[in-house]
Structure 1
């Protein structure tokens, strides 16, 4: 299941204005965070329905009574992280230091309590960046926390497509592209490039049957793929493999993901349509969704339809589909007693090995820029670095914006076409902007004097 967050202004503009689809999404929904031992740990309200307060204050006021499994003193132990949120991008060298340490180590230095870490922050990161904090760059985690939860009160609000994203959004988008003269050729994996004077002349790929190579002349090329796809391409394409900027991606890693759908013989109720699972499988992130509430096609079903996603899911991949489906049923019954006695009637399990970017400590230098040493070849995806936009981390909005910017780079190079408008995120609130400015001055002064950090962080 793909969430569409309050900050996804460019995606909402595409769907609602450019495609003219006004009913693609649900309203913003509340979410529950569940533990197998403590039950409901906390819930996330719809912040945009509540009085808007200055950021940080608003999040605190509107959730103070919602944390059932994390006492207030434990939540307060997060406060020493806030100076890091202000300074982690103060200078390039500052970000490098944060990127090289794990978020777990940053939490230790800041005195974050074990209860807050285990019951809230770890499960949040397992579903937000798809890995446990001890395996994540502190710099990327701070980016994610700021973008999704802390920059503005409403930023944590999320809505969902009312059906599959493919049918709801991508099929209408592809139809519009074809109407405008675009030819879409699926099933043609790229195998190589033919160069002419520092520019790509043509792209080679397998045909639809995968039996022979075909060549496509190219004025410009945009590589829109994830880490694993790029690594396979670099290994198979000599022209890319001889260039350091592309070989660098071989240092990056992917994360295993699993998507499950389970049908039950009777309908059970859920407190929340979207839910996060904490500690149900060691070091595995989990979510489950009540599709009877979220997808129009299931609203009138006699039985419940539950979708579940698992991240950092390598330990689940070897299990049979039936075993995975029954795990999902067990997890749902633990959270929602109304599913007791409901029998699984059908299920579907999809496995995606190494499918999403793993932002490991020290990975930033190996991520690609959008521009490359090949003048008419560009890169798009949420894992590129140097994107001049406020969207951060694993993010559909960032991936889409990177695609728009790649198209604009093509237009700038060719002199043909009209550049796409890219909406930026809402500006920092005044108190946050002032804090960042002060943090930058302190960091620059500390670096000049050779002081490690004014906040005693990395």
Structure 2
């Protein structure tokens, strides 16, 4: 373990929880079967540790699932939405159609997610590895293979050689080579983030001599669908983290699979069932109103249900697994949290609008690639479209085409009415892929999510929160918190993975009073990402 990792964990040594002096946490998590209700306490008369997790997206569900398996632990997962899942929660329309906000790819390095879904839950919800394309008003401009099927080349040569650019001249692609220096030297440290965060991504590419064309046709499209904003609105630090993942990752890491239905149905519903089978409690349509602090520890939280019922819940630890806009909403109600500078500073952060559009056509359309990223249709918005007949089981045998189009940084589209949006998407599809011409949209569903995803804008890093807080028993888990030794970056923010709560969980386990050496070793493994629970 590096010195920075030791420093990170040692920073938690003052955390202690009341009434758990005799509690021992088990390091057996993945091989145990749920009993009736929660795990039996090791000794009679010792009450369980009460942990509340706020936010039921990927991070919150992952944290609740792991913690619910620990002995002497009572976990309550709370979310303001009517169903779990955060941004990826799916639901049915009035016509009974399954919809969700975005189609979510799972890349080959998502070890923790695959372990959770396949080994722990026993599910097989994913497609095979798929090929993809990039499209512009010129049509198809890039083809990406299944990289694992190609002869292995040293990084980053595989991504560079096997990606087929149909319109970008070699001289422009070569102009990006000097950028490799910055990507290779990028160590994702606090110092690196502070150095590059106040610079825009566009300035970074210009500084390293990238041609205007390679920026416009290669890098900015990646920013639009990866960091959800154009280069002049993206932090150079965030861009370097993303480029590290895409360029220097192992060749096969760029391969992707897709859930064969909504994430809510295929993954989240079984995961919630498993959490509840361990004795965990799940409360939806419930908002956190405030916290009660004594001796710099949260003693209880105050929640309000959808019916307006106010309730107080005693807790020994509190984990926030919410996005930026979610935390900002909590701060509007909680004067206690808003009195803390670290929480209050998050009001300087911003989020990005996203939109999902599902089109039901009147015929079967031949679509070359199942997943497609698009750029150049307007300056500020990135979008993708997917052939759901090939991806979702529900539409495999349908005789008419169903398309999902997802828009990021969709500010200018949000005010349009649904019919106008559906027509705009149909128009763009006809330009991107000519086989859509002549097809008629019979039905459509439009889902808008204002301020739905994190905006890694220049200068935002200084206001990101750490996984630990000034309140001894309050932790942060999710896609925009600074995680040592790897700070907030593309690798941490875009992976729909359970890793981003591991450091929070490790700190919690490591600092319980009277932990056994076995428990401490387990906590160190979690902190370093070496635990078998977090590897395939």
TM-score (normalised: structure 2): 0.75
CA drift at 1:216? 1.0
Mapped to 1, the partners of 2:209 and 2:346 lie a distance apart of 34
Further displaced range: 83-92 or 49-58? 83-92
Mapped to 1, the partners of 2:233 and 2:415 lie a distance apart of 22
Alpha carbons of 1:414 and 1:25: their partners in 2 closer, same or farther (altered >3 Å)? same
Q: Is the Cα contact below 8 Å between 1:191 and 1:205 reproduced in 2?
A: yes
Residue 186 of structure 2 is matched in structure 1 by 88
1:56 to 156, 159, 166: 156
1:150-207 CA-partner distances (Å, limit 9, x unpaired): 2221221111101100011100100011111011001111110011111001111112
CA drift at 1:345? 0.8
Residue 105 of structure 1 is matched in structure 2 by 203
SS of 1:25 mapped into structure 2:
coil
Higher helix share: 1
Residue 35 of structure 1 is matched in structure 2 by 136
Residue 276 of structure 1 is matched in structure 2 by 373
Whether 1:10 aligns to 2:94 is no
Note the residue ranges of structure 1 that are not aligned, 5 or more in a row.
Answer: 426-458
Alignment of 1:155-170 (within 5 A): 155-170=253-268
SS of 2:495 mapped into structure 1:
helix
Alpha carbons of 1:120 and 1:75: their partners in 2 closer, same or farther (altered >3 Å)? same
Mapped to 1, the partners of 2:240 and 2:200 lie a distance apart of 11
Residue 143 of structure 1 is matched in structure 2 by 241
Residue 439 of structure 1 is matched in structure 2 by none
1:115 to 201, 213, 226: 213
Mapped to 2, the partners of 1:19 and 1:422 lie a distance apart of 23
CA drift at 1:412? 2.7
CA drift at 1:247? 1.1
Residue 26 of structure 1 is matched in structure 2 by 127
Mapped to 2, the partners of 1:407 and 1:48 lie a distance apart of 33
Whether 1:194 aligns to 2:289 is no
SS of 1:89 mapped into structure 2:
coil
1:250-283 CA-partner distances (Å, limit 9, x unpaired): 1111000001111001010111100011112331
Residue 51 of structure 2 is matched in structure 1 by none
Mapped to 1, the partners of 2:488 and 2:300 lie a distance apart of 33
Mapped to 1, the partners of 2:127 and 2:261 lie a distance apart of 10
Whether 1:384 aligns to 2:481 is yes
Alignment of 1:342-357 (within 5 A): 342-357=439-454
Residue 419 of structure 2 is matched in structure 1 by 322
CA drift at 1:61? 2.3
Q: Is the Cα contact below 8 Å between 2:156 and 2:247 reproduced in 1?
A: no
What is the aligned residue count?
Answer: 420
1:64-83 CA-partner distances (Å, limit 9, x unpaired): xx111211101111111111
CA drift at 1:235? 2.6
Residue 154 of structure 1 is matched in structure 2 by 252
Residue 405 of structure 1 is matched in structure 2 by 503
Mapped to 2, the partners of 1:138 and 1:54 lie a distance apart of 26
CA drift at 1:303? 0.7
Q: Is the Cα contact below 8 Å between 1:231 and 1:249 reproduced in 2?
A: yes
Alpha carbons of 1:332 and 1:299: their partners in 2 closer, same or farther (altered >3 Å)? same
Alignment of 1:59-70 (within 5 A): 59-63=159-163, 66-70=164-168
Q: Is the Cα contact below 8 Å between 2:506 and 2:526 reproduced in 1?
A: no
RMSD over aligned Cα, in angstroms?
2.0
Q: Is the Cα contact below 8 Å between 1:77 and 1:112 reproduced in 2?
A: yes
Alpha carbons of 1:71 and 1:319: their partners in 2 closer, same or farther (altered >3 Å)? same
Residue 250 of structure 1 is matched in structure 2 by 347
Alpha carbons of 1:149 and 1:6: their partners in 2 closer, same or farther (altered >3 Å)? farther
Q: Is the Cα contact below 8 Å between 2:482 and 2:488 reproduced in 1?
A: no
Q: Is the Cα contact below 8 Å between 2:354 and 2:406 reproduced in 1?
A: yes
Mapped to 1, the partners of 2:248 and 2:362 lie a distance apart of 41
Alpha carbons of 1:33 and 1:349: their partners in 2 closer, same or farther (altered >3 Å)? same
Mapped to 2, the partners of 1:288 and 1:217 lie a distance apart of 46
Mapped to 1, the partners of 2:480 and 2:269 lie a distance apart of 25
TM-score (normalised: structure 1): 0.88
1:346-404 CA-partner distances (Å, limit 9, x unpaired): 11111011111101111111100010011111011110112435984263536621223
